[in-house]
Amino acid sequence: MLVITLLLCLSPFAMGQLGLDPEDDILPDLDLGIALRRVPRQVKALLNKETKPHIQDLSVKTTIISRYAFTAVSCTMINRHSTATKGVFQVQIPSTAYVSNFTMIIAGRVYPSEVKPKEKKVKQVKEGDAKPRKDEQGGQSESEMETFRVTVSIPGKNRALFLLTYEELLQRRLGRYEHVTSVRPLQLVSRLMVDVTIVDRSEITHLEVLPLRNGKSSPGIANGARTQGKPTIPVTTAIKQNKTFCKITFSPNIVQQARIATNGILGDFVVRYDLERELGIGDVQVQNGHFVHYFAPKDLPVVPKNVVFVIDTSASMVGTKIRQTKEALFTILKDLRPNDHFNFVSFSNRIKVWQTGRLVAVTPNNIRDAKKFIYMITPTGGTDINGAIQTGSSLLSNYLSSSGGHHNSVSLIIFLTDGRPTVGELKSPSILSNTKSAAREQFCIFTIGIGNDVDYRLLERMALENCGMMRRIREESDASAMLKGFYDEIGTPLLSDIRVGYTEDSVQYVTQNFFTNYFNGSEIVIAGKLTNQSAELLHVQVTGSNSDKSIVLETDVALQEREREMQQQVEAADAGPVGDDYAERVWGFLSVKDGLKSRLRSQGSQEREGFTQQVTNLSLAYNFLTPLTSMVLETPDGLLDENAPSNSAAEPSEEEVEDKPQSLHRNSKQPGKAVRKPVKKSITISKTSADGDPHFVVEFPLSKLTVCFNINGEPGQVLRLVSDHKHSGVTVNGKLIGAPAPANSRKQQRTYFSTIIVVVERPKRAYIEITPHKVILDGKDRLVLPCDTTVAVESDGLGVAIAGRSNVTVTVQGNIGFVILVHQYKNPAPYQRDHLGFYISNSKGLSKDSHGLLGQFLYQEVGLTELASNATVDEVPKNILEPSTPSTIHTSTPSPALKIKDRTVAVVKKTRKIYSGTQTVNCWFVKNNAAKLIDGQYEDYVVSHLFDTGDRPHGTNEM
Q: What is the pLDDT of residues 55-102, one digit of tens each?
A: 999 999 999 999 999 999 999 999 988 898 999 999 999 989 999 989
Q: How far apart are CA 692 and CA 865, in angstroms?
A: 29
Is the backbone of residue 377 left (phi > 0), alpha (psi -120 to 50) or beta? beta
What does pLDDT average to over the chain? 81
Q: Which residue has the higher pLDDT, 479 or 672?
A: 479
pLDDT category of residue 660 using cuts at 50, 70 and 90: very low
pLDDT category of residue 916 using cuts at 50, 70 and 90: confident
Can you give the pTM of this predicted structure?
A: 0.67
Q: How far apart are CA 774 and CA 770, in angstroms?
A: 6
Contact 745, 779 (CB under 8 A): no
pLDDT category of residue 908 using cuts at 50, 70 and 90: very high
Q: What is the pLDDT of residue 26?
A: 42
| Dihedral of alpha carbons 21, 24, 26, 32, sign | negative
| 3-state SS record for 701-724 | CCCCEEEEEECCCCCCCEEEEEEE
Cα Dmax for the chain: 111
Name the packing angle between helices 582-601 and 456-464 (round to 10°): 100
Q: How far apart are CA 602 and CA 465, in angstroms?
A: 9
Q: How far apart are CA 222 and CA 608, in angstroms?
A: 33
DSSP E strand boundaries for 490-571: 493-502, 507-508, 514-519, 524-530, 537-545, 550-558
Q: What is the pLDDT of residue 955?
A: 55
Judged against a pLDDT cut of 60, whether residue 663 lies above it is answered with no
Q: How far apart are CA 814 and CA 730, in angstroms?
A: 13
Contact 314, 378 (CB under 8 A): no
Q: How far apart are CA 575 and CA 784, in angstroms?
A: 18
Tell me the average pLDDT across 281-289.
Answer: 91
Q: What is the pLDDT of residue 126?
A: 33
Q: How far apart are CA 400 and CA 406, in angstroms?
A: 8
Q: How far apart are CA 676 and CA 693, in angstroms?
A: 33
Judged against a pLDDT cut of 50, whether residue 125 lies above it is answered with no
Residue count (the chain):
959
Q: What is the pLDDT of residue 640?
A: 47
Tell me the average pLDDT across 435-464.
Answer: 90
Whether residue 763 has a cis bond before it, omega within 30° of 0:
yes
Judged against a pLDDT cut of 50, whether residue 360 lies above it is answered with yes
Q: How far apart are CA 217 and CA 226, in angstroms?
A: 11
Q: How far apart are CA 421 and CA 431, in angstroms?
A: 9
Tell me the average pLDDT across 763-783.
Answer: 84
Tell me the average pLDDT across 370-397.
Answer: 94
Among residues 691, 763, 767, the alpha carbon closest in space to that of 921 is found at 691
Tell me the average pLDDT across 589-603.
Answer: 90
Q: What is the pLDDT of residue 137?
A: 35
- pLDDT, tens only, 621-654: 899 999 999 888 766 544 544 333 333 332 333 3
The CB-side HSE value for 398 (13 A sphere, CA atoms) comes to 13
Q: Which residues contact 543 (CB under 8 A, 6 or more apart)?
A: 497, 498, 499, 501, 550, 551, 552, 553
Number of separate helices (H) and strands (E) present in the chain: 13, 53
Q: What is the pLDDT of residue 870?
A: 54
Q: How far apart are CA 685 and CA 197, in angstroms?
A: 39
DSSP E strand boundaries for 200-303: 204-209, 238-241, 245-250, 267-275, 283-287, 290-295
- pLDDT, tens only, 3-51: 323 333 333 333 333 344 433 444 444 443 333 445 666 666 666 666 7
